[in-house]
Structure 1
Amino acid sequence: MKLVNIHTLIFILLFIIIGLNTAQAQVWSLQQCIDTAQVHNKNLQMNRNNISIGEQKEKEAKANLIPKITVNADYKYFSNLPYQLMPLSTFNPTAPVGQYKEAQFGVPHNINANLQLSMSLYNPQVYGAIQTTKIASELTELQYLKTEEQIFFEISNLYYNAQILHNQLAFIDSNLINAERLLKNMQLLNEQLLAKGTDVSKVKLQIAQLTNQKESISSKYEQVLNALKFAMGVSIEQKTQIDPNIQFKRANEYTSSTILDIRIIKTQNRLLSSELSTLNKSRFFPSLNIIGIYGTTGFGYDKQPNDFLKFFPIGFAGIQLSYPLFNGTVTQRKINQKQFELQNSELQFGLLTEQNNMQVENAKLQRMVAKKAVETTTEQIELAKTIYEQTVLQQKQGTASLTDVLLADNALREAQQTYLSAVIDYLKADLELKKLTGNISTTK
């Protein structure tokens, strides 16, 4: 029975180990990295919160059209009652005109409590704020898309860099295998007195250089993966592997559409125009409000024998009209500022359009050059491999020296490095072109 339990335990442990190895070996595609970033990236989360904030501001502006009800209450105790001047004829009909006598009115205790209702019938600032916050919400959504585009661009670049470093490691491993084979041959020839000890040392030095290069590239690879995980918004401790197969595609022509930067400028232009319109309306149009109060007023006296506390109702309703005649040119100064801001926005729109056209042409040229470089270096790798294999064979036959082998090996490594650089240049140029033509979202 114990033997069965031990076998069962071993089976469970093996199942867990296999499951952990499978989880560790999970390969992330570029699309999975982007999808993960859309959920976990903190910059995108903050921008989504900004969109919600913009929606609440728009609702806040509309809420100014809803009637407002406030409760007001106050208590006043007059240690000295206020004075008022009364015509002396009030007290003495025979008194001459133009003479007055002071008199105190009221009681020490005054209590007021009421409900106040106010509702805007027409207020240019309120309606202008509603329109402005609506455009501001659109601007916030565009800024979210811009942040999303930047993060996608960053993740794609990091992913391509990781693929290049991964392939560099694969090339180094292949070169190390070739170098170790060469070392065994040189050691055998040295034992047979057909090669010098310095030849063996040269090959060992090459292996040491390749080993150091592998360690350096492995460190860079881990750093790029950490940066990729940070951009995705996942934990640095999470095991992550990328797909090493570089998807090299032929050049495609992209249809140009309005890029986000230009759409943002246009929306900012609309926002400034709305603010300018609101300022002009608030300068020339009155505001009209409904007001109403219902409550009570209390008067009290606390001296004997006439102490009392009496309350009397109060209520009224009316319409309040407010028209700005002159506010010290403050509104005019604000209008002048918005006009200059609007001019700058229009200039920035023209500048950004011209800059985008120039960058699109440059990106096309860079992609074309990189495409030709990929095709050329692909042929060079095959040629370098052939030369290296032939040189090794000639060295075994004694018709080529160790120096020839090492030179052929260096030529192969340079061809491999040039190929990888050309591929990454092409992918980045293609990605840049998609961004500049407004097609970066189609890559998802």
Structure 2
Amino acid sequence: MTKGIISIAFCLITSYFTQAQNAFSIKQAQEHALNNNYDIKNAQLDVEHASKKMQETLSVGLPQINADIEWQNFIEVPTTLVPASQFNPEAPDNIYTEMQFGIPHSTNASITASQLIFNGSYLVGLKAAKYFMKFAKTRKNLTESQIKDSVATAYFNVLIAKENSDFIESIVRIHKDIVEEIQEKYLNGFVEDLEVDRMFLILSQMEMQYANTQRQTEIAEAYLKLIIGSPLEDEIILSDSLEQLLNASVNFKLEEAQIENRLEYKMADMKIRLKELDMRRYQSDHLPTVSAFASIGRNAMGVDFNAFEENVNWYPSQLVGVKISLPIFDGLGGMAKTQQARLIYEQAKNDKNQITANLKLAFLASQSNYLNAISNYNHEQNNVILSKKIYDKTLEKYREGLVSSIELSEAGSDYLETSTNLSQSIYNLLINNLNYQRCLGK
């Protein structure tokens, strides 16, 4: 019994840790976000909404069939005045006879069908619905692209924060060893207590920086979990390293921009088409509407309600017809609507020209920023190599008693600053490469 309980508990614990820990490459994190991010889910719902809207528009041109059952009861049968001369030729012309026509109870059952044969607005609406569907899908693709970029940025932040945290942790370990050494020297009377206090102060400041970087790492990880749709209590492991991402970013090839491949450009082009169709919809309102209809029904009547009794006569009726509606004059309201739609259409064309210019400028800026980011990264990398060399030599001389703790502190601060600058240059390089790839239309 006890072994069984232990075995079940072990399985539950193993299952929990299997579910709570997830390893993600940057592509896997992006795919996870596409499946779980709320903005993506809403974009997919927009596509489905556009699909249903297209079905709604299409249904207008399909046969419309309705069934009606109606019962009515004249509490008082209407009275009609009929000239008395109709029944009595000798009656004066100004004399009328009161008569009631109709039966108090009547029941009618019918099936009516109608079919739209021609309507200009409907034909234009079908085209607009198809373009709106494409527009919704393109907007979804744009949302996916933006989410991927946001995930990549959050992924970079976590890697940079961990890199900074690990670096400062290594410096803290070194200075802890130095503090232990300096304390031993103090106990043996080789240094003053002032030197010990200085090293304790330097160590305290570095430990505070280390604690700050740990908190920044936690916040960066929490944001990454949020944006990819992972529970905040789960642990995530990033399988891609900064070195891998850097190699992909530094190995570059300058290319020409393909503005036509940008989703923003495609959406602007579709918007023009939609506004043009909207204008044509108002223009087509002046065309005739042709529809056909047919009806079949039966009617039962009686003094009392006896429609469902035996031996009651149901009188049949059938009809077919065609209806043509032609607008003649609408008080110039249709013309005003067409002119408004034309103005909006012209605005859409201007918006596309503006977007095209902005995309070209964004490409030039992203290319320049990318090249600058590569140059800055190489520069900061050299600075870190020099500052590390200076720090290592200063640390060695400090242990030999050739330099003071102040000089060691300055060398450590310089080393820490150049490392921070390198981390920032790596982040800038990764982000600018990401922007450059987007501006290329990839």
Change (3 A) 1:82 1:18: closer
Contact 1:254 1:434 in 2 (8 A): no
Please report the RMSD computed on the Cα atoms of aligned residues, expressed in angstroms: 2.9
- Between the aligned partners of 1:9 and 1:189, the Cα distance in structure 2 is 57
Q: Aligned residue for 2:390?
A: 387
Q: Aligned residue for 1:30?
A: 26
Q: After TM superposition, list the pairs within 5 Å mapping 1:266-345 onto structure 2.
A: 266-282=269-285, 284-302=286-304, 310-345=313-348
| Superposed CA offset, 1:179-219 (max 9, x none) | 12222332233233332212111111121112121221111
Q: Aligned residue for 1:442?
A: none
Residue identity over aligned pairs, in percent, reads 20
Contact 2:119 2:288 in 1 (8 A): yes
Question: 1:165 deviation in Å?
Answer: 0.3
Change (3 A) 1:100 1:328: farther
Q: Aligned residue for 2:61?
A: 65
Question: 1:93 deviation in Å?
Answer: 3.4
| Superposed CA offset, 1:324-363 (max 9, x none) | 2233444333323322221221121111111222222222
Contact 2:257 2:363 in 1 (8 A): no
Which stretch of the first structure deviates more once superposed, 348-357 or 101-110?
A: 101-110
Change (3 A) 1:77 1:55: same
| Superposed CA offset, 1:223-270 (max 9, x none) | 111111111112111110223434213233244222111211111111
Question: 1:45 deviation in Å?
Answer: 2.0
Contact 1:34 1:155 in 2 (8 A): yes
1:356 corresponds to 2:359: yes
Q: Aligned residue for 2:308?
A: none
Residue of 107, 116, 120 corresponding to 1:120: 116
Contact 2:272 2:349 in 1 (8 A): yes
- Aligned-partner residue type, residue 54 of structure 1: A
- Between the aligned partners of 2:78 and 2:17, the Cα distance in structure 1 is 91
Query: Helix, strand or coil: the match of 2:323?
Result: strand
- Between the aligned partners of 1:347 and 1:314, the Cα distance in structure 2 is 59
Contact 2:21 2:234 in 1 (8 A): no
Q: Aligned residue for 1:245?
A: 242
- Between the aligned partners of 1:268 and 1:95, the Cα distance in structure 2 is 77
- Between the aligned partners of 1:381 and 1:217, the Cα distance in structure 2 is 19
Query: Helix, strand or coil: the match of 1:240?
Result: strand
- Between the aligned partners of 2:41 and 2:355, the Cα distance in structure 1 is 28
Question: Unpaired segments of 5 or more residues in structure 1?
Answer: 440-444
Q: Aligned residue for 1:208?
A: 204
Residue of 418, 422, 435 corresponding to 1:432: 435
Change (3 A) 1:125 1:26: closer
Q: Aligned residue for 1:396?
A: 399
Question: 1:431 deviation in Å?
Answer: 0.9
Contact 1:388 1:409 in 2 (8 A): yes
Contact 1:43 1:147 in 2 (8 A): yes
Question: 1:311 deviation in Å?
Answer: 3.2
- Between the aligned partners of 1:105 and 1:302, the Cα distance in structure 2 is 16
- Between the aligned partners of 1:261 and 1:53, the Cα distance in structure 2 is 21
Change (3 A) 1:72 1:96: same
Q: Aligned residue for 2:125?
A: 129
Question: 1:104 deviation in Å?
Answer: 2.9
1:262 corresponds to 2:265: yes
Contact 1:120 1:290 in 2 (8 A): yes
- Between the aligned partners of 1:106 and 1:331, the Cα distance in structure 2 is 45
Contact 1:166 1:244 in 2 (8 A): no
